[in-house]
Amino acid sequence: MQRINVGLLATTIAVVFISGTAQSVIQTDVVSVDGGEAAEAERIALNHLRATVLNDTAAFTGMRTAEPDEIELRVDSTARSEGVTHVYVQQQVDGVDLIDGTANVAVTDDGEVAYAPAQLIPSSLVSEAPSAALPLTVNAIDAVELALEAAAVEPTQPLRIVEAPTGSDQRQKVSDGGVNARPFDVALIYTEVDGELRLGWNVELEVAGVAHGRTVVAIDDSSVLRTDHYRVSHGPDAYDNLREFNDRNDRSVAGGAAPLETPASKRTATADTSTSWNTRLSTRLSTRLTTDDGSSYSVFPIPVEAPSFGSQQVVSQPADALASPYGWHDTDGVAGAESTMTEGNNVISVLDLNANDSADANSQPDGGLTLQFNSMFDGSSSPLNGENPNAAVTQAFYTSNWAHDFFYAYGVDENAGNFQVNNYGRGGSEDDPVIVDSLDGYELAEGPYTRNNAFFTTPPDGYPGRMDLTVFTLTNPQRSSSFDNGVIIHEYAHGWSVRLTGGRNNVNCLSNAEQMGEGWSDFAALMATTRVTDTGDERRGIGSWVLGQPTAGGGVREFPYSSDGSADPRTYASVATEDSVHGIGSVWASMLWDLNWALISEHGFDPDLLHGNGGNNITMQLVSDGLKLQPCSPGFVDGRDAILEADQIAHAGAHECLIWAVFANRGLGWFADQGSSDNSRDGVASFQLAPQCSPMEPLWAHGNLANAERLGSPR
């Protein structure tokens, strides 16, 4: 990003150049913002949006009003990255929220607006919206009944108002009807339907095994205007044709893939196929502090990906002192565990054999007063035999807590909407740990949602997340996905990408066609299970163990992840040929994986995955900050630009040309055009570097991205 400061008294004008054209004109008062003064950042953000040049369609999609005062906005939430406050703003009509009318404004600590993507609804629609003050034909109880009817659920108890309406949106609570996990949250909301704004009741549903999301019911004709599901489903398209995958990957591991010829028109000026990554290993000793609670767990410890990658070991006191200051079994913020079972502030880990979203009886191991969880895994026995159920629950508890602490290190804290019972006074909403169900649905008939699958549910901040881990049936004995750390990190990462994109209360920002949610999850799984002996050109799969593949197996994706283009030929052009969110996401993960190894080549690898300073740590931080910066409903170009901006904010653009080279190499270069992010087939690939980075020192050519020097034996 280039900032052009001109002497206009107390005003700074900054023109942001991302893809060859000015993306926005930023005008803001120069005000010093202390890192903790969120209120000042919010004021700057709102003033900026109301004063923004309104015909700047590149950065402010939909703003079409001549009067800035007509833009009704409220601050929804704020989050922090180093040196910047992220302010998430919600568009309103008559004090009622407007679905899909959102903006993020990144305000630096010196009061400068660094980045401000927005998607606001045009004033032409707003001016025709029905008034929220008019009498309502459908009341809140009617709306809950209609939402349950749409979900084919019959309440078993009478519905009644348990908290009276407040505010312009008449927010209230309706009793759970004997079917919901908690009283129904109901409020008025506007949504766009067929080119017009409709007013409806937003009903939050959390019915075990049936519905977890929101349903909007029209206040005038009782119709269901929209339904948004909070559960990310990985079946059947995620794990279909698994035997075909196994056969193909077995052949690939045995014989290797032939290098792909890259058309001359797609080769960039960055090519030198003989260039080595020259990967370096950081020898800096870890200074990470852990919480002294006496706990220990017999598990496959991170970075061991699964039982085929290493052995079960006893891990002592693994809780990170910053993210989990009272350990993993605390809930009250006072020294001493509240539970000796597999539950605490971040995670509740249980068995749920009948998939009813309720813990089975005796489904948690008890570590006793000393918190010793020592159940042993027997890979030669079925998932239900011997100590395997307790071992599965323990492993899922350990890995999910580790994921909480891992993402916390990269900015997924309380204000960003992390998952915790008690936020220890650090902000955000509480009472939302991740509930992890192991052997989910194992007592039920085999099907796409009871076997060979895994799921994650991400509701708004303040509502618990849920992870469902099933058993995979392609091996004998069958394998519980609770022992595959890559699968668990992948699932947990959906909470990371969903709550950081658009803010912690807006969990519908990754529902568009070109969104990359599965890619962020695959990437996080790869990052968490990287070992000091790994190199970029190795073949990494997701879920190789649960599929019964060797460690070099390709897992559940069409290609394994590798910075060697002959093994992983995916480019941005591949997106248009993908029919599933997993295929689309895998293209994005390939790009992020390349970025990781490019930054490792410059800064080395640090085995301290949470608090290190290697290239892997830098990559993880840039990607996490990019999630906070990018707009709602992002496409690939949006995601790339957010990472570039994250580097500008955190590193003054020190890695700008390296980032451009990585993305250009996989077709997301200077002239790449994502078209509509609601259409995954209209993107245009470009292998051209940014002008400011060409000519530059060659890095690699697509088709042979890395010839990394190994630091040890292969995986």
Q: Cα(677)–Cα(674) distance, rounded to whole angstroms?
A: 7
User: How far apart (Å, rounded) are the C-alpha atoms in residues 558 and 568?
Assistant: 9
SS3 category, 612: coil
Strands 434-438 and 347-351: parallel
Among candidates 527, 459, 532, which has minimal Cα distance to 490? 527
**10 Å Cβ neighbour count for 319?**
26
**Side chain identity at residue 682, one-letter code:** D
Element (H, E) at 32: none
Cα distances (angstroms) measured from residue 56 to each of 20, 37, 121, 444, 518: 15, 29, 14, 55, 31
Q: Which residues contact 5 (CB under 8 A, 6 or more apart)?
A: 12, 13, 14
| Cβ proximity of 266 and 584 under 8 Å | no
Q: Which amino acid is at 498?
A: V
* Eight-class DSSP state of 315: E
Taking the CB of residue 225, how many other CB atoms lie within 10 A of it? Answer: 21
**For residue 477, cis peptide bond before it (omega within 30 degrees of 0):** yes
**Catalytic annotation, residues:** 491
Q: What's the rounded Cα separation, in Å, for the pair 28 and 8?
A: 11
DSSP assignment string, 215-284: EEEETTT--EEEEEE-EEE--STTTTTHHHHHHHHHHHHHH-PPPPPPPGGG--TT--TT------B--P
